[in-house]
Structure 1
């Protein structure tokens, strides 16, 4: 790991990879003086710049510095050198929600409601700060030691007061404003309960056609209350989509899916019992994460004259 910044290697022991992305990876690191464990996102600066994604990285850092919510990953600091951008975050030990969906095959209606409710609170907080997330998917939701969710990866998030016209996100994510976040919640809820996304197809072009068609088919055993809310969230016209009408998030929070047995305050206070139960042998155990091959080659260096991060 000697090719990383000396400031990083002097202060942290670099551990295993927790996740990989288009421009880098996230590693577990241990602070040498305190023994505290963190997650370190390491972006390859040359690739970010060559693909003209540097503004996304700048936006990500800016947003992470200004958010503070127990359902969002906590920012601990950042650094950079000629090869990499480093983002230090809290370490979440329970792995990706996608791993749990695959392990369990699908979530019950009650489990889906519990985790969907947390995403509602995440978006309610972000939207109150005029931040749109734009990339909700199970891989971007980590399970913490208490079985609650943490939203991670703000690479596509953006401060937006109305609409933005940049193209981003995964194939089933569309729209450019707060409506897109509520659309993706509908996608996530369907996937949690059915084990597959509503518009899935191995052929991307067929998938796009299904999305544009806007018609969602539900398995016969699909929970009726979930089905009702998902239809409201996957409404093709953004102006009629739940979360964007005059009542805003209250339309979602007052839906009969969240009935008399539901308490939003208990969820916010984290006293509602979680469904995923985690057991760890040690604080640095990463058994709930996938194993990834190492990246032995150093990233390409970026000359100072070509580095937009130095100006920022």
Structure 2
């Protein structure tokens, strides 16, 4: 179950791009939405803000505009070894197509003989995961705020026939004001029908994914049910020491709620965590409208949500645009020793 997770953290790594710059400095990748064409020489590496199975994310500063970005850098040999080529192409395809206030934006992609690069928004507030861990659990109103913004993000993705497939607190970033941004679209996919790939995080997998029945957008509503439970309880509803134990509990579908949970939110969670996806809230005829009309969301003005007019319950401490204090610190490591990739392997990424 190789995850394409690139988690967030911080460390200084000022030499991180130098080797690949010599190969790439004169070449530019695709035009960004603002019509700017970037190249690696334009980007000064400030810090490491994430590490993962085959990727790193760096905070970089554009030497021309002085703006900050996140540069996701993936080792091509590791992407191939872990059979993640399609996920990487999917991520680019999806991010090229989306434009929504609660989703990360992609500005530029590129590859040289060692790495794939994706230049994206830098979101300085850190992961929702760290705020949840430090508080233990969220209040009902705090959970309601984040859930409302996530519902709008999922509704938008589904309107474009995109399934996200990796909803969890680690993949929800907070911007400087405290609004959400979904990140890490490595498992996202444009769906024509159903898909059969087993991917995601064990605690958040829908039954139809575990059973390899073929799955679609309903998996995102299941994952939202898990997320709402975890935000308000402080732990996920199905957990065990090993993935197999988690899967057994998911398929058994037995829910035990902590006493303090609001009556309406318990009802909402039960309606998301329905094993029969044809009866799962969000996946029926009216789609996201059924979710928005649920009694728990009665206080929410849905027109105001995507306009970012709701007041965030947590205001991250951000001193400036390139502030990295809301991320973990990662140890330094020499990440550049890999030999160049053979030409036949580079062919896989010629359109990246």
TM-score, normalised by the number of residues in structure 2 = 0.86
Choose the corresponding residue for 1:192, options 197, 221, 231.
Answer: 231
1:46–1:300 CA contact under 8 A, matched in 2: no
In the alignment, structure 1 residue 221 sits paired with structure 2 residue 267? no
| Partner residue, 1:42 | 73
Residues 56-105 of structure 1 show CA distances to partners (whole Å, capped at 9, x for unaligned) of: 10111111111111110011111111110000001100000100101111
| Partner residue, 1:295 | 333
In the alignment, structure 1 residue 241 sits paired with structure 2 residue 313? no
In the alignment, structure 1 residue 253 sits paired with structure 2 residue 316? no
Ranges in structure 1 where 5+ consecutive residues have no aligned partner: none
Report SS of the residue matched to 2:173: strand
| Partner residue, 1:274 | 312
Aligned counterparts of 1:237 and 1:54: Cα–Cα separation in 2: 32
Runs of 4+ in structure 1 over 4 Å off? none
Choose the corresponding residue for 1:85, options 74, 99, 116.
Answer: 116
| Partner residue, 2:344 | 305
The Cα shift of 1:311 comes to 5.9
The Cα shift of 1:177 comes to 0.6
2:44–2:62 CA contact under 8 A, matched in 1: yes
Aligned counterparts of 1:311 and 1:262: Cα–Cα separation in 2: 43
| Partner residue, 1:264 | 302
Aligned counterparts of 2:48 and 2:237: Cα–Cα separation in 1: 31
1:12–1:32 CA contact under 8 A, matched in 2: yes
1:5–1:80 CA contact under 8 A, matched in 2: no
The Cα shift of 1:9 comes to 4.6
Ranges in structure 2 where 5+ consecutive residues have no aligned partner: 1-15, 26-38, 210-214
Report SS of the residue matched to 1:268: coil
Provide closer, same or farther for how the CA distance between residues 9 and 160 of structure 1 changes in structure 2, counting only shifts above 3 A. closer
| Partner residue, 2:5 | none
1:147–1:274 CA contact under 8 A, matched in 2: yes
In the alignment, structure 1 residue 101 sits paired with structure 2 residue 155? no
2:174–2:180 CA contact under 8 A, matched in 1: yes
| Partner residue, 1:70 | 101
Cα RMSD after superposing both structures: 1.3
Task: State the aligned residue count.
Answer: 311
Aligned counterparts of 1:230 and 1:108: Cα–Cα separation in 2: 16
2:174–2:316 CA contact under 8 A, matched in 1: no
| Partner residue, 1:165 | 196
TM-score, normalised by the number of residues in structure 1 = 0.96
